[in-house]
Amino acid sequence: MTRALILAAGEGTRLRPLTNDKPKCMVLLQGRSLIERQIDCLKRQGITDIHIATGYQAEQIVALGYPTSFNASYKQSNMVSTLFCALDFIQQEGDLIIAYGDIVYNDNNLTAVLACDDDITLMIDKEWLALWSLRLENPLADAETLIINDAGYVTELGKKPDSYENIQGQYTGLIKVKAEKVAELIHFYHQLDRQASFDGQNFANMYMTSYLQALIDAGWQVRAALVNNGWLEIDSVNDLEQYELLAQQGKLSEFYQL
């Protein structure tokens, strides 16, 4: 059995004014909210045990009718803290999908992740540069390092790259944890030094990429499930405007099938 936890606590400040009165995951893309599109995709693959970690404007997400956990410190914390506020759900049985609330992805991308049977699997976009070039004037300034070894495992991610040579793809915010590793994932988090710095952030504000890198450094095998586009990140008003324009032009399918 596979379960899914959607991380949807953030305020989405770069999407204001759209997020003045709604959480980031409730922003509409071609008339449907991001979280509805993501839930639809999960359900088409038979994943119906869906839990949402909330924070900003939580009551709107609760109204969707799915079980939720609330990150009361969402204003002072980051994605990893939101993840572990849903501890009761995480430690249940079954493989665990973890997904950012501000992404959407096509069915074949999700199936690529589900097909892997490693400790942890990350959806990695090999064709990331096309999407980043659409969204940004200088893709390198926003991209992060991602290095994959010959066996197909991620060895580095989340750093600031000096050149495109250190970017073999981009991490997309979709993760699968094998059922047998969930308890270890929790234990690893609890044994981290609360006073340490994680890529310049304190413990509460640790980036997900920093946590994943810590797991890699500790010997975890993190598989890269390679995809070619088939997903979108909606991080800013500019992102959304670009996607809506492409949809009107009939070109959005180059990146994501509505």
Res 87: pLDDT: 97
SS3 content of the chain, % helix, strand, coil (to 5): 40, 25, 40
Its domain, for residue 22, covers 2-254
Q: How many domains does the chain have?
A: 1
Q: What is the pTM of this model?
A: 0.96
pLDDT-based confidence at residue 203 (cuts at 50, 70, 90): very high
Do 203 and 194 meet the contact criterion of CB atoms below 8 Å apart?
yes
* Residue pLDDT, tens place only, 237-256: 999 999 999 999 999 999 99
User: What angle is formed at CA 169 by the lines to CA 165 and CA 174, rounded to 5 degrees?
Assistant: 155
Res 141: pLDDT: 87
* Residue pLDDT, tens place only, 215-225: 999 999 999 99
Place of tokens 């390198």: 140
Asked if pLDDT for residue 26 goes beyond 90, the answer is yes
In this structure, the strands spanning 68-70 and 50-54 are parallel
Task: Give the separation between CA 84 and CA 194, rounded to whole angstroms.
Answer: 14
Handedness of CA 33, 35, 36, 38 (dihedral sign): positive
Res 21: pLDDT: 92
Res 148: pLDDT: 97
* Residue pLDDT, tens place only, 78-135: 999 999 999 999 999 999 999 999 999 999 999 999 999 999 999 999 999 999 998 8
Q: Output the six-digit token pair for 83.
A: 């993840």
Summary mean pLDDT of the chain: 95
The set of residues, in sequence order, having a beta carbon less than 8 Å from that of 73 and lying 6+ positions away, is 81, 204
Q: What is the mean pLDDT of residues 148-168?
A: 95
Beta bridge partners of 201: 198
Asked if pLDDT for residue 136 goes beyond 90, the answer is no
Do 239 and 88 meet the contact criterion of CB atoms below 8 Å apart?
no
Q: At what angle do helices 34-44 and 107-114 cross, to 10 degrees?
A: 60
The set of residues, in sequence order, having a beta carbon less than 8 Å from that of 86 and lying 6+ positions away, is 5, 51, 53, 69
Task: Give the separation between CA 193 and CA 147, rounded to whole angstroms.
Answer: 26
CATH code, domain with 157? 3.90.550.10
**Is the preceding omega at residue 17 within 30 degrees of 0, hence cis?**
yes
* Residue pLDDT, tens place only, 164-187: 999 999 999 999 999 999 999 999
Percentage of residues of the chain with pLDDT beyond 70? 100
